[in-house]
Amino acid sequence: MMRLKIQTVLLWTIFFVFTAAMPAFALDESSLPHSFKTRAIPYFESATKGVMITPDQVHIHYRIFEPSDGPVKGNVVIISGRTEFMRKYAELLYDLRLSGYRFFIYDHRGQGESERLLTDTRKGYVNHFKDYVSDLEQFMNTVVKTTGADNTYFLAHSMGGAIATRYVIEHPESVTAMVASSPMFQASTGNILPAVAYQLLNIFIFVGQGESYTLGRSAEDWQQSFVLNEVTTSEARYDYAQQEWKENNALIVAGPTHRWLKEALDIGFWIMPRAELIKTPLLVLQAGDETVVDPASEADVCQQAAHCSVSMFPGAKHQLLMEQDNIRNEVIKQSLAFFVRYKNK
């Protein structure tokens, strides 16, 4: 009995020490309409801003956030999903300002503040998925690695998860560890098998419809109501992202084109047979009510990767970092704990 009590005390001591080391997540849903504008956005705008020009002359906008206090634990590169923009992550960056990490974030080509690829700027488009990966590679070489930090981590979401995964397969020694939130290892094609959808998309592209919206999608997709949305159960966080789009229409990316969806399927077909080549420690955060990407592909990739685990969040939708407080806080805690677990020095 005495031994059991001692073990219990030790467990609780470890728990409190561990949780005390976690940052306080400053903003909650009830205060978002006010605190997002008065606290998160001012912090976001205080970052170091930069522009990277790619070999094909696309201007990629980025920001760097130095830790608010103490020595730098490492670099964290946030790699966002399709349609997303840096300002959408202002709350997350504000919440993590005391975590001790230096944060980097950039907007992918064709979205956010970065240069668009089509005249119709609302279309989700990319020439080749590898272009996203090449942009990340250039960003790592010319911006992130110049800081000389001992540890570099990826925090990637959805499409960003696919980009980051190809990068770590091709550069296995470059990243200390990676957290992937709802990674797009296979894009959802609804009731159509991915292989069939892929062939249909190739036909559309062959007949000159690569820049057209996919079936049922349009320039007004971004105006979807909260009730119908597939990405979060947090109405407050959904609303502030919508408000950002309303106040700055230039940030809007709406439906995907045939070309983008074909390229999204391509990256899945590339990753799946190479999953065993993922040597970077990987934590996959999985939404219980996922409909945007194929959750079975997440489990398949993780099973083959060298050091991978899956953490499921029942009741959550696709954008785990934009979810309700109870889900989102746990997502952040698990991500930071994973970074702490894997470090070079």
Give 122-140 pLDDT, tens digit per residue.
999 999 999 999 999 999 9
Report pTM. Answer: 0.91
Sign of the dihedral through C-alpha 185, 187, 189, 195: negative
Question: What's the token pair of residue 37?
Answer: 């504008």
Joined together, the tokens standing for residue 76 give 């964290």
Mean pLDDT, rounded, of the chain: 90
Q: Are the C-beta atoms of 288 and 327 separated by less than 8 Å?
A: no
- Residues of the chain above pLDDT 70, percent: 92
Choose the CATH number for 29-341 among 3.30.590.10, 3.40.47.10, 2.10.240.10, 3.40.50.1820. Answer: 3.40.50.1820
**C-alpha distances in Å from residue 203, one per residue of 126, 129, 190, 262, 290:** 17, 18, 19, 10, 29
Phi-psi region of 258 (alpha: psi -120 to 50; beta: other; left: phi over 0): alpha
Q: How far apart are CA 55 and CA 217, in angstroms?
A: 31
Domain range annotation of the chain = 29-341
Angle at 166 between CA 162 and CA 169, to 5 degrees: 140
What are the pLDDT digits (tens) for 38-87? 999 999 999 999 999 999 999 999 999 998 777 899 999 999 999 999 99
Q: Please, which pLDDT band fits residue 96 given cuts at 50, 70 and 90?
A: very high
CB 78 within 8 A of CB 60: no
CA distance 345 to 342: 9
Spatial CA neighbour of 60 closest among 139, 142, 119, 128: 139
Q: Where are the alpha helices (DSSP H) in the chain?
A: 2-20, 32-35, 41-45, 90-95, 129-139, 159-170, 194-206, 235-247, 258-271, 295-304, 325-341
Q: What is the pLDDT of residue 345?
A: 62
Residue 199: Cβ within 10 Å count? 11
The one-character DSSP state at 118 is S
pLDDT of residue 318 exceeding 60, the answer is yes
Cα–Cα distance, 35 to 32 (Å, whole number): 5
